Amino acid sequence: LTQLGSTSTFSGSLRARPSSVGLASDEVYIRDGDTLAVSYYDPKPITNVFFEVTSPRPRFVAPTPDHMTSFESAMDCPFQILLRAQDEVIPIRRLPGALVTIAPTRYRRNAAQWIPGVPGGVSLSASDPAVEFTTSLSWRPRVVHMGARFELCFRVQEANDLVLVTAEFHTERCFVVVVAKCRKCLSP
């Protein structure tokens, strides 16, 4: 911060980064849920200013199913899961501009190796990042999916990369979808 003239007006800025790697002298590293506080005291005239803000704390919330919840589907059956996330910081301490979103991370079929993204045909409904974010996972398994067990993983994240979110903060959830063998939905 820099003092400007005799009016004791202050201005300045600090850049916040989600990683401590390569941190410059004018940058600070903030983690999920960290609180930044700034106070200023000037004896002439007596002035006390205190400002406090908490970095985003993006989390999955109800009605998002629990981690590793199992679902069953069949070929050509529309399958849908509602996913919801929010910044759990109380509004008065919320960092302005902090928004959350949900994105696919990885999947695997029949406990094989993890693959980035989601299987073909899986989609999330379009929704703009927000303090409370809701999307719907939709899938209509095809014949190539019959008899398979899929683990689909998604993470909730701060939309502007203001904080680093990790599994340690419960920001990833995986769901199991078993596509029945020799079963098919009849379309109307």
pLDDT tens readout for residues 63-73:
999 999 999 99
Q: 3-state DSSP call for residue 7?
A: helix
Taking only the tens place, the pLDDT of each residue in 67-119 is 999 999 999 999 999 999 998 877 777 777 778 899 999 999 999 999 999 99
Distance CA 73, CA 139 (A): 10
Q: DSSP state, 64?
A: S
Chain-centroid distance of CA 151 in Å reads: 19
